Amino acid sequence: MCGIVGGVASQDVISILLDGLKRLEYRGYDSSGLVVLAENNSLNRARAVGKVVNLEEKLKTKKNKIKGNIGIAHTRWATHGEPSNRNAHPHICNHSVSVVHNGIIENYLDLKTSQKEQGYKFTSDTDTEVIAHAIHLSMQSSETLLEAVQKATATFDGAYGLGVVSPKYPDTLIATRKGSPLVIGVGKNGNYIASDQMALLPVTKEFIFLEEGDIAELTLTKVTIYDEGGNQVERPVKTSKLNKGQVSLGDYQHFMQKEIFEQPQAIRDTLESRITKENVLISAFGPKAQRIFKKIKQVQIIACGTSYNAGLVAKYWFEDIARIRCNIEVASEYRYRHPILLDGTLFVTISQSGETADTLEALKTAKKINSKINTLCICNSAESSITRGSELTFLTHAGPEIGVASTKAFTTQLVALALLVTSMGVTQKTINKKQEKAIVEGLKRLPGLVNKALKQEDQIIELAKRFKDKTSALFVGRGTMHAIAMEGALKLKEISYIHAEAYPAGELKHGPIALIDESIPVVAIAPNDELLNKLKSNLQEIKSRGSQMIVFEDEDSHVKSMKAMDVIPVTSNLGRITAPIIFTIPLQLLSYHVALVKGTDVDKPRNLAKSVTVE
């Protein structure tokens, strides 16, 4: 992953670069750096370990006071080489060229060996440094920086989004991408690049989304783009609907907290124009959706992280409610294991960012395995690689999600999946009018139900205090609640660093029950469904092993409270679709407040990044 910003402007670009980097910190934050071309035509660089504020502070010191109208900047999530000053980008070769890179150059060791033989000296452990040397080498036989970058990138295997500047070409910034995202911001007083449009919203709302293999030459007044074959091409300029306020904290302490509380609105926005009084609008999945859904025999879902957990809920819904066969797998496994894809498969990818490398590659792999399959993505980013690679797209309207731990993206993915399951069931006549109406009514109640669940916060704050000295926790549930337990455990791991596992409640007896003692809190989810009595027996089994328990229940579940067991009624009268969405809320609040108790960096937990655009 990593985040890139760059620009050629009529003013000093330092503040634009720093502001852009801060907006990209969700992509990584173990070090950052920037280079500007100074008036004397030299490359002036500053780098710092840790978050972007450290770089900002460094730039305030006398020694590092630099400015320039053209520059590139980077916030890093380490892949090759530890987080350190010397491994931070930008990398420079022979004072003549500087690069920032997002992605991985897979053949960097071969390139490094041959570059060393040619006398290049390495000052970092990164794969990126070979890019700087490769461009420097091809500059010797090129007339323009663009030509040099084209020649160099032809030797790379792997993925890259690149920003390149050189004092030899003081008016030009080169940008190119393959397998990693990069957008161009077209401004009134300059032209810019970034890994994500959010970085550039303070300077422009006009964006060009580069295609795979595109290379662009930016000057103060002009953007010229060439495709992978070297032909000059026109790419449309699109006006972003995002505004910069959407990416600020407002009155909240953390983005995660803000995003948890934005869920009623995010769900409303995701449902808007997708349902009528009694029906789901199948056309919400695109004009071809009805025709495609009719012939589908099975669904294959692929995703990573939280998006995978959303898919896991949908597997139950597809088979249980719509009676359509459904498989789900994590993308990093699927893409490498030569899977069988039958004709009549709808290949569904779920991704908040639409840029997750494993999910994108799994999609490409699937299309190669069987070109007859249909593809659909559920995504929160309109102009992403995954939406562009999919036949049908359903956009969740969650708005920008900045907190690394996903919250509103997850619940809106569930809403999208509920609409998909219903649309397919209706098309295939496995869901009748009455059932469809009941589902739509349930979906409409969601914003109110989420608000009600959010009201449990004070109680959850108290419960969170108990996790202060805990190092492990167990989450249990049955059916879709097993998937929700997985999401609850993932949230806790991600932001409080407590080891957490999720188990189907009925599976505990086959191993994990051996772990249970008073040191391991168990969090259980008890909806009022057909498995409730079975779950109650499982809770007894856990309780008799001395565990401290927290049970989030439906008011009608009437789980009997016992010593060292807190039973929290979250809601009542939920259906099979609404229940998993609503029971997610207390688990999000719990992990958020445990993280506060533990004093971790909630929005930027260690070692993680929001958008993982590397393998």
State the residues that interact with ligand G6P by CB under 6 A.
Answer: 304-307, 351-353, 356, 359, 404, 406, 608, 610-612
User: DSSP string spanning 90-103?
Assistant: PEEETTTEEEEEEE
Positive or negative torsion for Cα 506, 507, 513, 519: negative
| Beta carbons of 293 and 282 less than 8 angstroms apart | yes
Cβ partners under 8 Å of residue 143, min gap 6 = none
Backbone conformation region of residue 50, classed left if phi is above 0, alpha if psi is from -120 to 50, else beta: left
Nearest CB to ligand G6P, comparing residues 16 and 312:
312
Which among 51, 205, 491, 610 is annotated as catalytic? 610
Q: Where are the alpha helices (DSSP H) in 159-273?
A: 255-261, 263-271
Q: At what angle do helices 145-153 and 129-139 cross, to 10 degrees?
A: 120
Q: Which 8-state DSSP code applies to residue 195?
A: S
Residue 462's H or E segment, with its range, is helix 457-465
277 is catalytic: no
The whole-angstrom separation of Cα 150 and Cα 426 is 50
The whole-angstrom separation of Cα 279 and Cα 438 is 9
Rounded to a whole number of angstroms, the minimum distance from the CB of residue 82 to ligand G6P is 21
Helices (H) and strands (E) in the chain, counts: 18, 25
Q: Which 8-state DSSP code applies to residue 476?
A: E
Q: What angle do CA 25, 54, 169 make, to 5 degrees?
A: 75
> CA dist 47 to 89, 94, 415, Å?
7, 18, 43
Nearest CB to ligand G6P, comparing residues 302 and 520:
302
359 CB-side CA count, 13 A: 35
Rounded to a whole number of angstroms, the minimum distance from the CB of residue 405 to ligand G6P is 6
Rounded to a whole number of angstroms, the minimum distance from the CB of residue 391 to ligand G6P is 18
Q: Where are the alpha helices (DSSP H) in 96-178?
A: 108-117, 129-139, 145-153
Nearest CB to ligand G6P, comparing residues 270 and 306:
306
Rounded to a whole number of angstroms, the minimum distance from the CB of residue 181 to ligand G6P is 11
188 is catalytic: no
Rounded to a whole number of angstroms, the minimum distance from the CB of residue 116 to ligand G6P is 35
Q: Where are the alpha helices (DSSP H) in 272-407?
A: 289-295, 305-320, 331-334, 357-369, 385-388
Nearest CB to ligand G6P, comparing residues 537 and 607:
607
Rounded to a whole number of angstroms, the minimum distance from the CB of residue 13 to ligand G6P is 29
Residue 561's H or E segment, with its range, is none
> CA dist 363 to 308, 350, 388, 571, 602, Å?
14, 11, 11, 38, 31
Rounded to a whole number of angstroms, the minimum distance from the CB of residue 308 to ligand G6P is 7
Q: Where are the alpha helices (DSSP H) in 407-454?
A: 408-427, 433-454
Which among 491, 160, 197, 196 has a CA at the least distance from the CA of 357?
A: 160
Which among 264, 240, 281, 490 has a CA at the least distance from the CA of 394?
A: 281
The whole-angstrom separation of Cα 503 and Cα 548 is 16
Nearest CB to ligand G6P, comparing residues 133 and 177:
177
Nearest CB to ligand G6P, comparing residues 29 and 192:
29
Rounded to a whole number of angstroms, the minimum distance from the CB of residue 610 to ligand G6P is 5
Nearest CB to ligand G6P, comparing residues 14 and 404:
404
Rounded to a whole number of angstroms, the minimum distance from the CB of residue 20 to ligand G6P is 20
Rounded to a whole number of angstroms, the minimum distance from the CB of residue 356 to ligand G6P is 3
The whole-angstrom separation of Cα 242 and Cα 256 is 19
Nearest CB to ligand G6P, comparing residues 43 and 608:
608
Q: Which two tokens stand for residue 265?
A: 């609105």
- The structure tokens 């856990």 sit at 542
Nearest CB to ligand G6P, comparing residues 311 and 586:
311
Rounded to a whole number of angstroms, the minimum distance from the CB of residue 248 to ligand G6P is 21
The maximal CA–CA distance of the chain, rounded, in angstroms, is 79
User: DSSP string spanning 393-409?
Assistant: EEE-------SSS-SHH
The whole-angstrom separation of Cα 345 and Cα 326 is 9
* Residue nearest to ligand G6P according to CB distances in the complex: 305
Helix or strand or coil: residue 222? Answer: coil
| Beta carbons of 412 and 396 less than 8 angstroms apart | yes
Nearest CB to ligand G6P, comparing residues 199 and 223:
199
Nearest CB to ligand G6P, comparing residues 197 and 359:
359
Which among 2, 93, 326, 377 is annotated as catalytic? 2
Cβ partners under 8 Å of residue 337, min gap 6 = none
Residues serving a catalytic function are: 2, 610
